[in-house]
Structure 1
């Protein structure tokens, strides 16, 4: 079972420069079961439920002692290396590295290398120390550096059509010796890290090509090597984790990567994530390497999508997800923010030897190999993507033959560029569908392609406008230039506010402009990740709207990744928040969420008080939870303080929040079991319930007295013969080619969850949607669960669009209780 802690760790650890929701699906033995999910776009934090919504109204955490003696250890045209003396405070756990006001890194040790930097720019750095309690020190001494213009080098002298060979760049010479780690000598040894159907990923921030691979009696080491194009040398990011006798992988409890045939399953996730991702094998989760700390983060596994042999993947910088095509199943994507896998296609035999890349301009997932080029549109996450299209390409189509050519997107030529050995390189114009062969003009060329495929070991380097490739551990690293024009690279990110300073309780909107080195700029507000480094002073949401909370200064920042070059910079501003002046009048107070609160006996829930104010003609609202005086009419039933409700005994009481003379109240029910407020429907043939405690939803039409049923549906089929499952809800379903299922509930916001699919036979597409918002998607065999937050309006209840086979549906009003707890309590088997 995937705990919500894993997902929360992902969101916090990955999004150092951005805010994240907390989402994930939890599958039982059959892929259905309990669901942990909130809709990050609908105030997910306030609806997280028991204990998650508790308001902290205590004193600010103490400031630790600051780090000292910050110095620039080295400065080059591509990197600034910083070192400092650590804070003497024992509570300090990590350090923030700031360039001006913007956070550029967060590390555990007193050193950091900042990339990318822009030649000619002047940067000022400081470092602060952080504690687990949220305390941040005053900044260290500042250090100011000017980034030098790079001198002429091998890249600037490389002409189009020519290759360059890095001397002494074979990996074997830099790899670890089995004398230090005996398991590295098992199987094929280090040669298996590339020879055994293995890929690579290119870090556009640090200009490094990462390599990992092995498995199946190949290479047993899970360490990650990176070739740094700026230094021309291999670096080792991690040490190998131990592999026991007779085992292929380290202990799963370590939460680290396993050496496997990666196929096309390695990706670099540019900021706001800045992670190296390795998609796991059957039974193994995907792991992400934090490139600031070089530590692994273990994340939820793939759904069972059929064989992963020959699978391919590619990161989409527009939707910020990783698209993945299993060897014999559907296209799906993984969202690094939520940790959630979602199916977005039909079961599809993609083949064994195809490599994939995303075209960010045309928003296509492009697969090349086995004699064909296939494309799939990926511009929408909320719907099933169209079926893949096999392109009728012309020209030098021989690049499509064979298996797993190296392919990547070139932002300068706006082409897909491919290589499969020797000196020739091929480019594809997706508009004309013509392949062009670019014959090598130099005598220096790479050797033949690795017999088991190139995959991602051929990559485009936007900062240098070259391609890099490595074939085996005994051959050198090569780079190639296709076009003489430089890439359009970012120079800086400008963040401005509509109003400053801002009074407590007021807000505004940030505007962001991305400025490029060639002098051009684009409005980037809708494409950035916003965050606040001082959320107790001011917060900022996903679209750049900020809210001032307390007097002080808040650092608000925006991280922008250029989708064409996948290079990122961050910008920030300091927002001054001042006390409200003038005659501010509190008119009304409301306790949220309305209208009736519930809490399970022995558990807690978080609520808040929101005040409605006016000052002259200005009308606004503000959270006053920490300012209010809270009370309960029956403290033996429930107590409340600072917005935290504690249910003590069953019964009903009234909660009060008072600010000055203005008071609000709300009814609270303390109930013995969370399922009392849960709508739990199991889809099955008509008759007695097949699942204890779950109401029967069959093929009957909507009945207002009962409160649920089908609308405008014909030809519904019911099945209840999928026995052998550990979750009896998955043993039955109602099948439809497309119908609406209505649940009559009062207006308001509801948690909902559903499971779809047939665990015995393939049933094609299966989905449950509400007003265009996906709740659950599935395809082929197995069962897939999903969840979200929706709103019933205009007395219409909840009307779901259903396609395929639906197993079960559950809902609960957003009322302060935890939805996952309610579903878990409904388990009677």
Structure 2
């Protein structure tokens, strides 16, 4: 064991890759956990193959601008509203992250540029019998903490109260079990169109407050980034649209490592990263690739671009802004230009690095979700093994969609 630990450290120090340590929980343990999980009432009411809308409220019901106890200029729009108001937590390149153990969808830090400067977060606990959106804390500039968000200090990454500025979150929010929601790289801040800060932020789930845990060393790391958690190595893999080499955040010491000896992937395109524990691979959704995806081997640092076969799902827009998840055997994808009652699937047909992946589709009945936000769905589409289905949040003024798969 000591020799293995030494080799793992040596490989990481060389920037080449990471030898796998203990893998994720065995299937027997996962099955036992599922057996003891209490299915909430709303989920019991949805038959497999159906789409329903769930939850007691909508995000817009919590709009801080419409709350006289929060908005200091009520009924007028507060300064933090920007051009979009609270809709800016969804519309402008904003994602989310999913906590499987806690059954919670997090919208931790949303908005950005001139679209929306409110830095309040939101969460929805789907394991409750009657899920309801909750605001984690009021935005900077609210009553009791009045300040101007457009203050000319955008490059600091913080407002005057020391809290982080709102950002286009893309695929940068990552939920880490036992730690919480991590904004892997903060990026482009509100009221400013420049690169933004490369700070790594951690959200305290109880208080809604953020702390700075690290700073990414690469200048291009802030642009349209994507991260994914690797439970076997306890780290976050990260790839930005402007940085050719992947990197990882070692969560044991909050240290960033840029993998300069890995294959370089210089094409500018928004990404989505998904860790596939069954194959020990990183799946990258990428509109710049021939088939819009590629595969990273973390053992070798190699990049593979498999082909795709089968019929492409109708209406699906497949790129780094798509909502994509792994269910243990296949990629599930949702980002549709029009109304649809289907989820696209992409399944490895053999050796996932080199053999083709096959397109498919899961058809549902019931409520038809609205069309995707053009700027991207990102992590607002998530898969839950416990709940046996997918959650989708398309807008602030509609309730949450759920696709019952099993």
TM-score bracket, shorter-length normalisation: 0.7 to 0.9
Task: Tell me which residue corresponds to 1:417.
Answer: 332
Aligned match for 1:270, one of 164, 174, 177: 177
In 2, Cα distance between equivalents of 1:443 and 1:173: 25
Report the alpha carbon displacement of residue 295 of structure 1 after superposing the two structures with TM: 3.0
Task: Tell me which residue corresponds to 1:372.
Answer: 292
Q: Secondary structure at the match of 2:44?
A: coil
Question: Over residues 740-771 of structure 1, what are the superposed CA-to-partner deviations in whole Å (9 max), with x where a residue is unaligned?
Answer: xxxxxxxxxxxxxxxxxxxxxxxxxxxxxxxx
In 1, Cα distance between equivalents of 2:54 and 2:184: 27
Q: Is the 8 A contact 1:395 1:434 kept in 2?
A: yes
In 1, Cα distance between equivalents of 2:33 and 2:378: 31
From the superposition, tell whether residues 366 and 254 of structure 1 become closer, same or farther in structure 2 (CA, over 3 Å).
farther
Task: Tell me which residue corresponds to 2:112.
Answer: 215
Matched, 1:476 2:399: yes
In 2, Cα distance between equivalents of 1:288 and 1:390: 33
The higher-RCO structure (CA 8 Å, 6+ apart) is 2
From the superposition, tell whether residues 437 and 341 of structure 1 become closer, same or farther in structure 2 (CA, over 3 Å).
same
Question: Over residues 127-156 of structure 1, what are the superposed CA-to-partner deviations in whole Å (9 max), with x where a residue is unaligned?
Answer: xxxxxxxxxxxxxxxxxxxxxx85872312
Matched, 1:234 2:140: no
In 2, Cα distance between equivalents of 1:349 and 1:475: 38
Report the alpha carbon displacement of residue 417 of structure 1 after superposing the two structures with TM: 1.0
From the superposition, tell whether residues 195 and 275 of structure 1 become closer, same or farther in structure 2 (CA, over 3 Å).
closer
Could you list the runs of 5+ residues in structure 2 that have no partner in the other structure? 1-31, 72-77, 142-147, 188-195, 351-356
Matched, 1:202 2:98: yes
In 2, Cα distance between equivalents of 1:439 and 1:119: 25
TM-score by length of 1: 0.38
Q: Is the 8 A contact 1:354 1:403 kept in 2?
A: yes
Q: Is the 8 A contact 2:381 2:392 kept in 1?
A: yes
Report the alpha carbon displacement of residue 351 of structure 1 after superposing the two structures with TM: 3.5
Task: Tell me which residue corresponds to 1:430.
Answer: 348
In 1, Cα distance between equivalents of 2:104 and 2:241: 28
Matched, 1:461 2:384: yes
Q: Secondary structure at the match of 2:284?
A: strand
Report the alpha carbon displacement of residue 405 of structure 1 after superposing the two structures with TM: 1.1
Task: Tell me which residue corresponds to 2:49.
Answer: 161
Q: Is the 8 A contact 2:342 2:361 kept in 1?
A: yes
Question: Over residues 198-246 of structure 1, what are the superposed CA-to-partner deviations in whole Å (9 max), with x where a residue is unaligned?
Answer: 1100112321111131111011111110112123210112232244344
Q: Secondary structure at the match of 2:64?
A: coil
From the superposition, tell whether residues 151 and 451 of structure 1 become closer, same or farther in structure 2 (CA, over 3 Å).
closer
Indicate the structure with greater helix content. 2
Report the alpha carbon displacement of residue 335 of structure 1 after superposing the two structures with TM: 1.3
Indicate the structure with greater strand content. 1
Q: Is the 8 A contact 1:410 1:460 kept in 2?
A: yes
Q: Is the 8 A contact 1:255 1:296 kept in 2?
A: no
Task: Tell me which residue corresponds to 1:318.
Answer: 232
In 2, Cα distance between equivalents of 1:158 and 1:174: 26
Alignment of 1:532-681 (within 5 A): none
Q: Secondary structure at the match of 2:42?
A: coil
Matched, 1:176 2:72: no
TM-score by length of 2: 0.74
Q: Is the 8 A contact 2:241 2:270 kept in 1?
A: no
Q: Is the 8 A contact 1:166 1:476 kept in 2?
A: yes
Matched, 1:244 2:141: no
Report the alpha carbon displacement of residue 343 of structure 1 after superposing the two structures with TM: 1.3
Alignment of 1:322-333 (within 5 A): 322-329=236-243, 330-333=245-248
Report the alpha carbon displacement of residue 350 of structure 1 after superposing the two structures with TM: 4.3
In 2, Cα distance between equivalents of 1:284 and 1:252: 16
Alignment of 1:685-696 (within 5 A): none
